[in-house]
Amino acid sequence: MNNHNLKEYWAINIRYVLILISIWFVVSYGFGILLAPTLNNIQIGGFKLGFWFAQQGSIYVFVILIFVYVYLMNKLDIRFGVQEVEKGP
Amino acid sequence: MSVQMWTYIFVGITFSLYIGIAIWSKASSTSEFYVAKGTVNPLINGMATAADWMSAASFLSMAGLISFMGYDGAVYLMGWTGGYVLLALTLAPYLRKFGKFTVPDFIGDRYYSQIARTVAVICALIVSFTYVAGQMRGVGLVFSKFLEVDIFWGVIIGMAIVFLYAVLGGMKGITYTQVAQYCVLIFAFMVPAFFISAQLTGNPIPQLGFGSKLVDGSDMYLLDKLDQLHTELGFAAYTSGTKSMQDIFFITVALMVGTAGLPHVIVRFFTVPKVKDARISVGYALIFIAILYTTAPAIAVFSRTNLITTVNQQPYDQIPEWFITWEETALLNWVDKNGDGRITYAPGQAIVGSPEINRTNGEIVRGEYGEVTLLNPLTSTENELYVDRDIMVLANPEIAGLPNWVAALVAAGGLAAALSTAAGLLLVISTSVSHDLIKKQFNPDISDKKELLYARIAAGFAVLVAGYFGINPPGFVAEVVAIAFGLAAASFFPAIILGIFYKKMNREGAIAGMIVGLLFTFAYIGFFKLLYPEYNTPEYWWFGISPEGIGTFGMLINLVVSLAVGIIFPDPPEEVQEMVESIRYPRA
């Protein structure tokens, strides 16, 4: 593992984090707060959309974002050979 | 069987379980005591984190608060879950790789400075103590309401239980009791929710139920109905709320960032074996938390609708039984202002202050219709109903006419939530004292046995202090929770983030940032919450930001000061930069 590769690993990691944090921001602060009054004009079932994002949707998205990050990083760790060695029991 | 009998049974069973775990999991080394030797399975850790995180406030108060705040309740729902994304993506894996015991450990080593470590210890202690006092109070309240035990004895029993498993078992004991407590609390929270959701909407899943149509034959969506009720009574529509947008924004940021900076949450991710485990463990934790947090807004809507439809314009002599029981606890009261014998519910406070029951020789003085009378002066609003927010969850099973054992289950759940959080906080306090202060500052050569002994003494002492505040709560306990989050956001979070992502961040910048962020936030909250509560209104706030949201501002100030001061001083030493480099990769 040379330094150049590690730098690339870190750069990709930062890129993942930035993309996922942007989604995090758009969904919670965007849909749930700033755009909520506008989105409330759309109703799906009994939910006004802005209200739904603020009290339900954003939380589901948070969970999904973490698992996407876990998946991406586990793959990235293996690709760059920085994954941890399995310890004995 | 009565609610009280059921409560004794449930509380008895759950407490025996916690004590059993305490005896089984006695810790024998500091590494076991502080981080359970770093061998906790990530799924187990996720569940323990969820119980650690969800306190008496989440379990007992949050749904009630939301039901009175409507849309604005989103600040808690998003604020207390969104921080986990920050934890998973920017903190937990790196702190796990760093691999020590505490947050002040990281701050002290990363900023190669005992001053930085001390500032971090002080923050950790303030944050944890403010938080733990509220938990002990919650324990006392549940005991006094359901078992008719004095708050004093309720707190003592709670202290004894926490003492047993926190002082004996340390992190190991706490982890496994928290798992048991999570199961108890989530079961207790969900059962009434399923029942009530099915009752009102025909759909037992509360997350879907509150977006469904009512089964009362009106063919209306529940939320539309609630908006309509609100408008008729003169409240703002439930789904739109009343706070300003910038305040909602700032409070949500402060709570999210505060969550990610709370030491008792962060330390849980030191307990898993690997970096990979730390990442996924945050994900599990958030799933377990989300089950409660997506149900709470549904319960808020159900209980709000039930309350309005069963109580408003109802003649008092036809009021359901539960109303009368809760009246005597001074948590739900009626004052007949217009003398029509009916309960009028409208915006504004019904009375000045919280209810004081009118008694002569210990007997409650009843009014014309048999209602409990109060000593409080009346306000000039039309509203005749006083509702304590906490009863929305506690009384929910009774309001919906559910069997007695469901109400008792809620009591056991509330206790589980309060105890699990209290234990996590006590551990942070004891670790801060024995590890960060005694071992790292005063006596580095201390033996592991001695350090463990000090950790136990510190935990025992912390239990006593927490118990004292539970019995004699300072009037401002509820108010200071804002301080806990504000301080965590304004002190720890920027220092840790910069420490991981900005290799050239030096100690001078970090210390200056933490101190300025801390003092600013403390001063702003102290001014409005403690010194001059009469000025605590939007017209006096800076940029319309309430004390609850000011931690966001404190965090930004911390960042700016850290970077600005950091530029003036030399880069951190080579070995610190290498350490920062090494925590970025799981292996290497």
**How far apart are the C-alpha atoms of A66 and B227, rounded to whole Å?**
34
Instruction: State the count of interchain CB pairs (< 8 A) between A and B.
Output: 134
Give the number of other Cβ atoms within 10 Å of residue B556's Cβ: 16
The two three-digit tokens of residue B266, written as one number? 């962060």
Chain A: residue nearest B213 by CA?
A46
pLDDT score at B279: 92
The two three-digit tokens of residue B336, written as one number? 């007949």
Beta strands A47-48 and A43-44, pairing class: antiparallel
Among the residues of chain A, which ranges form H helices? 3-25, 36-39, 49-52, 58-79
**How far apart are the C-alpha atoms of B495 and B489, rounded to whole Å?**
10
From chain B, pick out residues whose CB is under 8 angstroms from the CB of A78: none
Beta strands B359-360 and B363-364, pairing class: antiparallel
pLDDT score at A89: 46
**Partner B, chain A 55-74, Cβ-Cβ below 8 Å:** 55-56, 58-60, 62-63, 65-67, 69-70, 73-74
Using the Cβ of B543 and the Cβ atoms of chain A, whether some distance falls under 8 Å is answered with no
Contacts of B85 (CB under 8 A, 6+ apart): A20, A21, A24, A62, A65, A66, B286
Contact call for residues A54 and B71 (beta carbons, < 8 A): yes
**How far apart are the C-alpha atoms of B585 and B571, rounded to whole Å?**
22
CA B256 vs. chain centroid, Å, equals: 13
Domains identified in chain B and CATH numbers? 3-307+402-583 (1.20.1730.10), 332-387 (no CATH)
Assess whether pLDDT exceeds 70 at residue A2: no
Element (DSSP H or E) covering residue B332: strand B332-334
- Spans of all domains in chain A: 3-79
10-residue stretch averages of pLDDT, chain B, 588 residues long: 86 89 80 79 92 86 88 92 94 89 88 90 84 76 73 83 81 88 93 92 92 87 91 89 88 92 88 90 95 94 90 88 83 88 89 86 85 89 87 82 87 88 87 82 82 86 84 62 80 92 93 92 84 81 84 94 94 91 85
Q: What sign does the dihedral A64-B559-B482-B438 (CA atoms) show?
A: positive
From chain A, pick out residues whose CB is under 8 angstroms from the CB of B239: 40, 48, 51
From chain A, pick out residues whose CB is under 8 angstroms from the CB of B274: 84, 87
pLDDT score at B136: 75
Q: What sign does the dihedral B409-B410-B415-B421 (CA atoms) show?
A: positive
**Partner B, chain A 22-51, Cβ-Cβ below 8 Å:** 24, 28-29, 32-34, 36-37, 40, 44-48, 51
A52, A54, A66: residue with CB nearest B282: A66
Residue A49 to chain B, least CA–CA distance (Å) = 10
From chain A, pick out residues whose CB is under 8 angstroms from the CB of B280: 67, 70
From chain B, pick out residues whose CB is under 8 angstroms from the CB of A60: 290, 294
pLDDT score at B38: 78
Using the Cβ of B586 and the Cβ atoms of chain A, whether some distance falls under 8 Å is answered with yes
Using the Cβ of B91 and the Cβ atoms of chain A, whether some distance falls under 8 Å is answered with no
Chain B: residue nearest A46 by CA?
B211
Residue B81 to chain A, least CA–CA distance (Å) = 7
B287, B290, B588: residue with CB nearest A82: B588
For residue A73, name the pLDDT band (cuts at 50, 70, 90). very high
**How far apart are the C-alpha atoms of A60 and A68, rounded to whole Å?**
13
**Partner A, chain B 232-271, Cβ-Cβ below 8 Å:** 239-240, 245, 248-249, 252-253
